[in-house]
Amino acid sequence: MVTGAGSGIGRAVALELMGAGWSVALAGRRVESLAGTARLAGRRPERPHGPAADGGPDGADEARAADGTGAGAAGTDGAAGTDGAAGTDGAAGTDGAAALCVPTDVTRPGDVAALFAAVRDRFGGLDLLFNNAGTFGPGGVPLEELSYDAWRQVVDTNLNGAFLCAQAAFRQMKEQRPQGGRIINNGSVSAHVPRPRSIAYTATKHALTGLTKSLSLDGRPYRIACGQIDIGNAATEMTDRMQRGVLQANGQVAAEPVMDVRDVARTVLHMAELPPEANVQFATVLATAMPYVGRG
């Protein structure tokens, strides 16, 4: 399952997983974007039956069986083998793997419940959640001017949405047989070092690191592995501004280098395809020359 699978990092990771033979549940706000991801992978977009078919306010973006949802790539700053997930009869890919498009708003508990119900109905089990949905929120707003509503929007998506998806995945992985699975949270280099005027984004990404650690500890008895990938300046729609110039810690505005988002996707695939006995707890992948070490 990949949340935020309709664009950016979520789309790149979903394409990499499907290219490796995974059946993937694609979650996000706009079902047409999810269908576009499926088609780019050469898959026929499937839709769930029941409540999840209608999903979020305008449809949604987020699932080897793997799951993706929400407002877009979350942090640009237990795998079952490459034969796909269970229940792939009638699947659209030439390799028999499926692309299930589930409109989802990860900030809504009902949407998340419907998403995971759709994955259970279609695949029977869940091997992987790439917990990717997220938002930068309003950029460049001085701390003292940031509205509470803007703060809440970022917290609801980046932290509450990540928790809801992780909790649902944990519950399903604990209950299914064979027991276990893998959760990969999309953190950010901002989980370690902030950018100026990014308090909401930075705070939620630091919190996501705590979520990752707790999931790892609580999942240990149930063969549920949890890791986190912290990404810096992957080239997506959300990072176009990096090359035009962004505020630095010294008060200057400077352009920053970016890297190919496919390098992020390959890293996630490596993490996802490790055996259950192995886990990448934290991985940092960033543009080599970006101002990260020494930032601030």
Domain ranges of the chain: 2-286
Strands 282-286 and 99-103 turn out to be unpaired
Q: Which amino acid type is present at position 149? A: D
Res 73 pLDDT > 80: no
The span from the CA of 264 to the CA of 262, in Å, is 5
Q: What's the pLDDT score for residue 78? A: 35
Per-residue pLDDT at 88 exceeds 90: no
pTM above 0.85, yes or no: yes
3-state secondary structure of 7: coil
* Nearest in space to 242 (alpha carbons), one of 259, 261, 255: 255
pLDDT digits 0-9 by tens, 234-266: 998 877 888 888 999 899 999 899 999 999 999
Whether residue 40 has pLDDT greater than 90: yes
Mean model confidence pLDDT for the chain:
87
Catalytic residues: 201
Average pLDDT over residues 50-76: 46
Pick the CATH number of 2-286 from 3.40.50.720, 3.20.20.10, 3.30.10.20, 3.20.20.80: 3.40.50.720
pLDDT tens digits, residue range 159-169? 999 999 999 99
What 3-state class would DSSP assign to 63?
Answer: coil
CA 281 from chain centre, in angstroms, equals 16
